[in-house]
Amino acid sequence: MKFRHLGNSGLKISEIIYGNWLTHGSQVENDIATQCVRAALDAGISTFDTADAYANTVAEQVLGDALKGERRESLEIFTKVYWPTGPKGHNDTGLSRKHILESIDGSLTRLGTDYVDLYQAHRYDYETPLEETMQAFADVVRQGKALYIGVSEWNADQLRAGHDLARSLGIQLVSNQPQYSMLWRVIEEQVVPTSKELGISQIVWSPVAQGVLTGKYKPGQPLPEGSRATDEKGGADTVKSFLTDDILQRVQQLEPIASSLDLTLAQLAVAWVLSNENVAGAIIGASRPEQVESNAQASGVELDADVLARIDEVIGSVAERDPAKTVSPPQRVV
């Protein structure tokens, strides 16, 4: 397992990160979730990403239980705040001071730790002054409940404003967590250049495009039983935009490239996002421990310029590149 610095901080994280969105407390049983976490640890993964909203706080509890007994100093644990939690009342969402300070305590209790290494704003909150949000984050850091601050799916202007406020408050905004894959490249035009300038890393989610870049979805064929595309609990909604025949045909054309490098399609997809120097880590999810073991092998794989060019030629115009697609809800969703 290789490690990279997070932003311009001294913190190093594993370049493969284990995340439990849509799995722990939802899609898979707790014993399987624990097996996946053990597989991650065995593969050298030290960084774990979750959020209070995942399975309405249950995912944090499952992750905390699975990591129990591990040396805390050897782990990097990330969580997030913004989306509705609990009974989803009028103050159970957003980035108000009230919600942030109450949410961090709940997250720490569920995770079974005194602090998180990274506390992230899960989206931008248009209903709360940014000054209030960043002051609350600064207080969380000064209280020792989080070491660093990050955000998720913020656009370039929001990153710049957040970075400047954080700096004025004496804290570090070190990361952004966007969706990024061969098929979803909306951060490349604006977010990545701005982040490089500010010393902010990307921690990317969905590097295999919700499973589409594994090649298991075939054009013109029924969806595989038990796949995310058949999950009525929410998984199907996240993947459907990638399930066009044009995209699926192009994904199949990536197979010879992966084979020539002795990689699976998923490993190629993860290695591709890690080829972006602004990416500190790629978040992988899993419903089976063997998926973790396989995808973790993408760590350290270097793709040369010729391979990257061949991938671009295959993917072509089906990749989404519109920077306006980096967007947070205009109003809090309760």
pLDDT at 231: 61
Helix (H, G, I), strand (E, B) or coil at 172: coil
pLDDT per residue as tens, the chain (334 positions): 999 999 999 999 999 999 998 766 565 677 888 999 999 999 999 999 999 999 999 999 999 999 999 999 999 999 999 999 989 999 999 999 999 999 999 999 999 999 999 999 999 999 999 999 999 999 999 999 999 999 999 999 999 999 999 999 999 999 999 999 999 999 999 999 999 999 999 999 999 999 999 999 898 777 766 665 556 665 556 677 899 999 999 999 999 999 999 999 999 999 999 999 999 999 999 889 999 999 999 999 999 999 999 999 999 999 999 999 999 999 887 6
Give me Rg for the CA atoms of the chain: 19
Q: Give the H or E element holding residue 92.
A: none
- Spot the catalytic one: 18, 54, 119, 124: 54
pLDDT at 222: 73
Which residue has 């993408």 as its token pair? 298
Between CA 165 and CA 160 the distance in angstroms is 9
pLDDT at 79: 98
Q: What are the beta bridge partners of residue 78? A: 49, 118
Q: What residue spans define the domains of the chain?
A: 3-208+276-302
pLDDT at 282: 98
Token pair of 136, please? 């609350």
Long-range contact pairs involving 236-241 (C-beta distance under 8 Å, separation at least 24):
238/22, 238/206, 238/210, 239/209, 239/210, 239/211, 239/212
B/e letters for 65-74, b = 16+ CB within 10 Å, e = fewer, are bbbeeeeeee
Active site residue 54: yes
Is this prediction's pTM over 0.75?
A: yes
* CATH number of this structure's domain 3-208+276-302, picked from the four choices 3.40.50.300, 3.20.20.100, 3.40.50.410, 3.40.605.10: 3.20.20.100
Instruction: List phi, psi (to 5°) of 148.
Output: -140, 165
DSSP-assigned letter for residue 179: B
Between CA 184 and CA 320 the distance in angstroms is 5
What is the residue type of 285?
G
What is the residue type of 224?
P
- Measured from the Cβ of residue 214, the count of other Cβ atoms closer than 10 Å reads 20
DSSP-assigned letter for residue 264: -
Q: Find out whether 203 and 177 touch, Cβ atoms under 8 Å.
A: yes
pLDDT at 331: 83
Q: Find out whether 206 and 184 touch, Cβ atoms under 8 Å.
A: yes
E strands of the chain, at which residues? 3-5, 12-14, 16-19, 47-49, 76-81, 116-121, 146-151, 173-176, 201-204, 279-284
Q: How close are the terminal C-alpha atoms of the chain, in Å?
A: 40
pLDDT at 109: 98
- Beta strands 12-14 and 3-5 are antiparallel
